[in-house]
């Protein structure tokens, strides 16, 4: 990092200590003897969820990875010993992999891609990052070190078992071409046998291509990439090179970095990775919106995690880590969270509760509300009788699991009905409908009433398609077989609506008083005309059936889509600490810095002393130098005189060095002051200014 603009004109080195960080140490701990049970439950459930996430992510990217593997394997299918000598200048095969803007996930994605390439296509794979490739020499060094030093690990041949030291060879593509010719081309073209990541021997015939993966292609220096592509094009007849460019935005980024004379050397093909929003929807549907996992997110936490994902980073990896933190905080801060377990372990876990745990359970607000709703004969038993309370808790937990079993299939039916309506009243994605159902009873929302009004205006074909989709959603739900049967009956009636029309007798039209008042307002006149129109119009058989279907679905939603916050023992299964999530995942760096500099004792809890535990604007002589300098700079205006600032600093801390000689104290204090000022500049509180040579400009105002 350049220090040309630094106040001290110095060079600073920050060397961190390597130590294992335990995330659980930073979370509040529940003060009860069941904390070990809570942690065991957390590890058990998170291992299951993490395994499902990894399987889901690998399956999600499998299609695009298969296309890339096929492309790299067929790019140089005709490359052989005969074509090497007589081949003319050809274009370099290049795959433009559009990955999206979720940059935190790119490392995992390209790591999986490189592993699959080495296992199934070629051992000659190198991955380059822009931070390590600021010159052509850096690119050649990284490429040759990865190709030459790691190739021997993929083969069982005794003659290839010795690693090639890339440091002893010239860093040129000519060296790499000679090595490739001696290793692959000059030998008999017998199929080689290598070991896959699973340890199974895999045969691969022909000459393996050399795959060069540039993970963050847009961040590479343009001139460096251009020179490297031009150099590589001169060796395309000797090296079967294939480029894979990782693009975060669009393919046009390649044309912005590469001029026409360079891009003409490439034969590019575009590969579009699935957007991370689709994976998020799939992950929520497969893990959170299922009865298999007892842990759930409350309305505020769920919406906060969605907002961070959609409006900040689009990172699935960060979403998974945030979900893990929420689960860990729930199991460490909620004393009764060990009851959030698998359904089969419920009765055993409840029976092991002692009197103290039952008292904590009785203090839950949802359980207290449940007790108030019970009869007067049951209330004393729920508050005093342990056996009766345990039996009722087991019953309530079983009802919670049954609620989740019915809740999510009916929620999918609601999403099916409203996802194609004009304007999307309840949202287009299933996560939006789920968020609306978490907040309150969905039938009480205005947008739900608007959605039902739109459903009452659907055509026959549209309504028939939606009913069929709902039947398919409930195909595997045995507990909702009656609902599925009713919906199938509605579908059958719509198919035979003409027969119902013939059987229905024709009735006389109702006589309606169509007289209008002589004097009325415009609103009353419109309402009167609408009432007359409704009474005069006779409903067709399909309109009656449509009303019947909508009313049936409305009753279904009122029965099963109850807001979870209204259920007893809601706090055990749902995590609702939005404030903790905001502090940990959406922190404010500036306020944290100002608080640390104003009150160092808050952070120095291990070595806290009386001198750091100060109040207000008081400046302690034994406070850290950076804190002293920070508090002094709060007393200054827009420009700060460095000499006056240093004299004030010396006045505050000089009593520490009163036993030393004045000269030594001056040198020490001056060095300490310069170091503290440089740290403030690094943190962004001050900057040098040209208005006055011996002054610095203040960049912030106010303290903590």
Q: How far is CA 505 from CA 254, 451, 511, 541, 545, in A?
A: 71, 33, 18, 11, 16
pLDDT at 128 over 90: yes
Pairing mode of beta strands 639-641, 241-247: unpaired
End-to-end CA distance of the chain: 29
- List the single range of 398-407, 514-523, 548-557 with lowest mean pLDDT: 514-523
Higher-confidence residue of 103 and 394: namely 394
pLDDT digits (tens, 9 = 90+) for 66-118: 999 999 988 887 665 455 444 445 789 999 999 988 888 888 889 889 999 99
Give the pLDDT confidence score for residue 200 in this predicted structure: 42
Q: Region 465-474: what's the mean pLDDT?
A: 93
pLDDT at 127 over 60: yes
Q: Mean per-residue pLDDT for 482-508? A: 78
Give the whole-angstrom CA distance, residue 328 versus residue 418: 35
* pLDDT (tens digit per residue) in 590-626: 888 888 888 887 777 644 455 555 555 677 777 888 9
Residues 245 and 96 sit within 8 Å (Cβ to Cβ): yes
Q: How much of the chain, in percent, has pLDDT values that exceed 90?
A: 39
Separation between Cα atoms, residue 598 and residue 127, nearest integer Å: 46
pLDDT of residue 358: 92
pLDDT higher than threshold 50 for residue 203: no
Q: Which regions of 114-240 does DSSP assign to beta strands (E)?
A: 125-128, 192-195, 201-204, 210-214
For 407-425, the pLDDT digits (tens) are 999 999 999 999 999 999 9
Question: In the CATH hierarchy, which top-level class contains the domain 62-273?
Answer: alpha beta
**What is the reported pLDDT for 500?**
63
Q: Contacts for 82-87 with beta carbons within 8 Å, 24 or more apart?
A: 83/237, 84/181, 84/185, 84/237, 84/238, 87/236, 87/237
- Give the pLDDT of residue 666: 78
* CA distance to 125, 260, 659, per residue, from 264 (Å): 24, 6, 75
**Residue 360 pLDDT more than 70?**
yes
Q: Whole-angstrom Cα distance, residue 418 to residue 690?
A: 63
**So what's the pLDDT on residue 159?**
41
Determine the pLDDT at residue 151: 54
**DSSP secondary structure of 60-96:** HSHHHHHHHHHHHHHTTTT--HHHHHH----PEEEEE
For 2, other C-beta atoms within 10 Å of its C-beta total: 6
- pLDDT at site 101: 85
**pLDDT at residue 302, rounded to an integer:** 94
**Weakest mean pLDDT among 84-98, 193-207, 362-376, 595-609:** 193-207
Fold for 589-698, please state it: Arc Repressor Mutant, subunit A (1.10.10)
Looking at 105-114, 142-151, 173-182, which range is the least confident one?
Answer: 142-151
Cβ pair 620, 612 in contact under 8 A = yes
Label residues 490-512 b or e (16+ Cβ within 10 Å = b): bbebbeebeeeeeeeeeeeeeee
Q: What is the pLDDT of residue 656?
A: 52
CA gap 404, 288 in Å, rounded: 11
Quote the CA–CA distance of 28 and 26 in Å, as a whole number.
7
pLDDT at res. 30 = 45
The mean per-residue pLDDT over the stretch 9-20 comes to: 54
pLDDT, average across residues 512-533? 69
Instruction: Please count the helices (runs of H) and the strands (runs of E) in the chain.
Output: 30, 12
Predicted local distance difference test score (pLDDT) of residue 87: 46
498-521: average pLDDT: 59
User: What's the rounded mean pLDDT across residues 261-286?
Assistant: 90
> What average pLDDT score do residues 298-305 get?
92
What are the domain boundaries of the chain? 35-59+276-441+563-586, 62-273, 456-501+538-560, 589-698
Q: Is the pLDDT of residue 445 over 80?
A: yes
Query: Given a cut of 80, is residue 483 above it in pLDDT?
Result: yes
For residues 419-432, average pLDDT:
91
Q: Give the DSSP H or E segment for 267.
A: strand 266-272
Residue 347 to residues 330, 394, 517, 661, Cα–Cα distance (Å): 21, 6, 70, 76
Give this prediction's pTM: 0.77
């Amino acid at each position: 990092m350049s220090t040309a603009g630094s106040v001290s004109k110095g060079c600073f080195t920050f060397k961190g200590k390597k130590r294992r960080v335990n995330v659980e140490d930073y979370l509040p701990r529940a003060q009860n003897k069941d904390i070990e049970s809570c942690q065991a439950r957390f590890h058990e459930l998170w291992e299951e969820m993490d395994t499902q996430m990894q399987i889901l992510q690998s399956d999600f990217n499998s299609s695009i990875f298969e296309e890339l593997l096929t492309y790299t394997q067929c790019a140089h299918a005709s490359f052989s010993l005969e074509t090497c000598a007589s081949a003319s200048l050809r274009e370099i095969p290049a795959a433009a992999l559009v990955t999206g803007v979720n940059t935190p996930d790119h490392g995992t994605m390209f790591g999986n891609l490189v592993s699959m390439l080495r296992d199934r296509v070629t051992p000659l794979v190198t991955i380059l990052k822009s931070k390590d490739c600021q010159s052509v020499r850096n690119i050649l060094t990284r490429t040759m070190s990865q190709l030459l030093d790691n190739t021997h690990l993929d083969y069982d041949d005794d003659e290839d078992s010795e690693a090639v030291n890339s440091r002893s060879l010239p860093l040129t593509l000519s060296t790499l071409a000679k090595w490739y010719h001696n290793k692959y081309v000059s030998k008999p073209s017998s199929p080689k046998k290598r070991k896959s990541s699973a340890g199974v021997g895999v045969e691969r015939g022909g000459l393996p291509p050399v795959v060069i993966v540039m993970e963050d292609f847009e961040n590479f220096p343009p001139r460096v990439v251009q020179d490297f592509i031009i150099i590589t094009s001169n060796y395309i007849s000797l090296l079967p090179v294939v480029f894979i460019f990782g693009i975060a935005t669009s393919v046009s980024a390649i044309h912005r970095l590469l001029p026409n004379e360079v891009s003409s050397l490439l034969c590019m093909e575009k590969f579009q990775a699935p957007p991370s929003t689709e994976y998020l929807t799939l992950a929520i549907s497969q893990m959170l919106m299922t009865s298999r996992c007892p842990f759930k997110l409350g309305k505020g936490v769920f919406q906060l995690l969605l907002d961070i994902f959609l409006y900040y980073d689009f990172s699935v990896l960060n979403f998974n880590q945030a979900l893990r933190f929420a689960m860990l905080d729930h199991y460490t801060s909620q004393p009764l969270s060990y009851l959030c377990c698998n359904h089969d372990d419920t009765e055993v876990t409840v029976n092991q509760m002692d009197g103290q745990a039952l008292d904590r359970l009785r203090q839950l607000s949802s359980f207290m509300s449940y007790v108030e709703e019970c009869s007067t004969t049951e209330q004393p038993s729920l508050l005093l009788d342990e056996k009766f309370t345990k039996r009722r808790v087991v019953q309530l937990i079983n009802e919670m699991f049954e609620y989740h079993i019915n809740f999510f299939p009916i929620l999918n039916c609601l999403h099916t009905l409203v996802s194609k309506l004009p304007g999307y009243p309840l949202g287009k994605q299933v996560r939006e409908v789920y968020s609306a159902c978490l907040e309150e009873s969905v039938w009480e929302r205005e947008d739900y009433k608007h959605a039902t009004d739109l459903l009452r205006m659907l055509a026959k074909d549209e309504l028939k398609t939606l009913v069929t989709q709902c039947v398919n959603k409930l195909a595997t739900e045995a507990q909702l077989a009656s609902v599925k049967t009713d919906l199938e009956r509605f579908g059958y009636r719509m198919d035979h609506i003409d027969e119902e029309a013939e059987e229905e007798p024709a009735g006389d039209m109702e006589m309606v008083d169509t007289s209008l008042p002589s004097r009325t307002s415009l609103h009353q006149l419109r309402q009167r005309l609408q009432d007359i129109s409704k009474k005069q119009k006779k409903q067709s058989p399909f309109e009656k059936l449509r009303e019947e279907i909508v009313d049936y679905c409305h009753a279904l939603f009122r029965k099963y889509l109850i807001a979870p916050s209204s259920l007893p023992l809601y706090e055990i299964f749902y995590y609702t600490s939005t404030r903790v999530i905001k502090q940990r995942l959406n922190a404010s760096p500036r306020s944290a810095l100002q608080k640390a500099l104003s009150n160092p004792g808050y952070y120095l809890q291990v070595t806290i002393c009386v001198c750091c535990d100060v109040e207000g604007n008081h400046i302690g002589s034994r406070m850290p130098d950076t804190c002293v300098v920070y508090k002094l700079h709060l007393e200054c205006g827009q420009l700060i005189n460095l000499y006056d600032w240093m004299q004030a600093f010396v006045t505050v801390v000089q009593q520490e060095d009163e036993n030393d000689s004045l000269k030594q104290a001056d040198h020490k204090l001056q060095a300490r002051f310069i170091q503290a000022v440089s740290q403030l500049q690094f943190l962004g509180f001050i900057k040098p200014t040209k208005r006055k040579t011996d002054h610095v400009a203040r960049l912030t105002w106010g303290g903590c």
